[in-house]
Amino acid sequence: MIPEPWAAIVNAVIYLLLAPVVGGLIAGIDRRITARMQGRVGPPLLQPFYDVGKLFEKENLVVTTTQNFYVLSYLVFMAVSGALFFSGGDMLLVIFAFTLSHIFLVLGAYAAFSPYSHVGAERELIQIIAYEPMIIITAAGMYMVTKSFYVSDIVQSAVPIVLYLPGVFIGYLIVLTIKLRKSPFDLSTSHHAHQELVKGVTTDFAGPNLAKIEIAHWYEYVFLLGVVYLFFGFNPLLAIAAIIIAYFLEILIDNTTSRVKWQMTLRSAWLVAGTLGIINLGVLYYLRMVIVP
């Protein structure tokens, strides 16, 4: 079902306004918990906002002016894909818009013609191809359970999706680690200095451009966690709890693993996540089509 247009628009607007706030807070909490896991005090809760505010106060330093365009497009399409998601749109469309936005980020890095950005961009691409299949499988799984690709339908479904899709859920959590740029999969860039790539894909962005990338990340966080919500859509409280637990798990994994290499990332995403997802869907399909036609 297509959602009511006005409701959809209201949701989208709410997302566009609130997601950066929520995303920034998540980032802030993340940094504090991380610090605590390392036996440190950590930065203030609002630190991510300070950072972004700071970046806007800085000079815009670029290698080529086209970088500005790519970064802005990255931000805009990231926001668009999230807005589509929260307005209850078609999951697949959301995924494609999401991919589009990432391509802009990658292109921005390529544009700089710098060794570190370049390697970062290649790795970012490897990451995209690593996680994308799993996300599509997730959408397909949700369709098989709810008979709809529309987020609005999926979220309203009273079916406990996660019970039908446990494999898909675990697979999604694995790719979530990639998406949140957490160790062991923080291949292309990371929050602190990156050991082999300096800053990887964001190396040659400075000031306002970097701020935009950061905001786009916030939009992304909220969207990605929104997908976690869908698995538990039948019970909002449980869903919120699941999001919190999932995120905590991600932080824990981040803090208890070293970064693996790209080969491992690709393999684990395609094989582990893919296999879990595929087996899950296969079983579901079998049950649906063969046992209960």
Partner 1 sequence: MSYLTKSPWILHYDASSCNGCDIEVLAALTPVYDVERFGIINTGNPKHADIFLVTGSVNEQNREILKNTYDQIPNPKVVIAVGICASSGGIFRECYNVMGGIDKVIPVDVWVPGCAARPESIIDGVVKALGILEEKRKAMKIPAGDTA
Partner 2 sequence: MTKQIIVPFGPQHPVLPEPIHLDLVLEDEKVVDVIPSIGYIHRGFEKLVEKREFTEYVFIAERTCGICSFIHGATYCQGIEQIMGIQVPERANYLRTIWSEYSRLHSHLLWLGLYADSFGFENLFMNAWRIRERILDVMEQTTGGRVIQGSCKIGGVRKDISNAKLAEMNRDLDSIKREMEELTTVFLKDDTVIHRTRNVGVISRQDAFHLGAVGPTARGSGVAIDLRKTGYGAYGELDFPVITDSCGDCYSRCLVRCKELFTSVDIIQQAIAKIPDGPVDVKVTGAPNGEFFMRAEQPRGELVHYLKGNGTKFLIRSRIRTPTLTNIPPLVKMLQGCDLADVPVIVLSIDPCISCTER
Partner 3 sequence: MGFFEMTKTALRTVLSRPATILYPAQAAKRTPLTRGHIIFDGSKCISCSICQRKCPAQAILLSKEAKSWQIDRFRCVMCSSCVDTCPAKCLSMDPVYTAPASAKGVEVFTITYVKPPKPEKKEEPIQ
Positions in the binding site for partner 3 (CB under 8 A): 33, 35-42, 252-253, 255-257
Smallest distance from the beta carbon of 58 to ligand SF4, in angstroms?
Answer: 21
Q: How far apart are CA 125 and CA 201, in angstroms?
A: 10
> How many CA within 13 A on the CB side of residue 16?
15
Instruction: Return the amino acid letter for 7.
Output: A
Nearer to ligand SF4, 122 or 254 (CB): 254
Q: Which does 166 bind (CB under 5 to 8 A by kind): partner 2, partner 1, ligand SF4, none?
A: none
Contact 22, 49 (CB under 8 A): no
Query: Of 47, 68, 157, 183, which lies in the binding site for ligand SF4, with binding defined by CB under 6 A?
Result: 183
Give yes or no for a contact between 213 and 71, defined as CB atoms under 8 angstroms apart.
yes
**Whether the Cβ atoms of residue 201 and residue 117 lie closer than 8 Å to each other:** yes
Q: Under a CB-based contact definition with an 8 Å cutoff, are residues 250 and 224 in contact? A: no
> How far apart, in whole angstroms, are the C-alpha atoms of residue 13 and residue 166?
32
Identify which of residues 175 and 251 has a Cβ nearer to partner 3 in the complex. Answer: 251
Among the listed ranges 67-75, 134-142, 176-184, 204-212, the one in contact with partner 1 (CB under 8 A) is 204-212
| Residue 58 contacts partner 1 per CB under 8 A | yes
Closer residue to partner 2 in complex, CB, 81/188: 188
Q: At a CB cut-off of 8 Å and minimum separation 6, what does 6 contact?
A: none
Instruction: Single out the residue of 116, 85, 18, 49 nearest to residue 77, CA to CA.
Output: 85
Q: Select 35 or 163, whichever has its Cβ closest to partner 1.
A: 35
Asked if 41 is part of the footprint of partner 2 (rule: CB under 8 A), the reply reads: no
Residues that bind ligand SF4 (CB under 6 A): 183, 186, 190-192, 194, 254
Residues that bind partner 1 (CB under 8 A): 31, 35, 38-44, 47, 49-54, 56-61, 191-194, 198-199, 202-207, 210
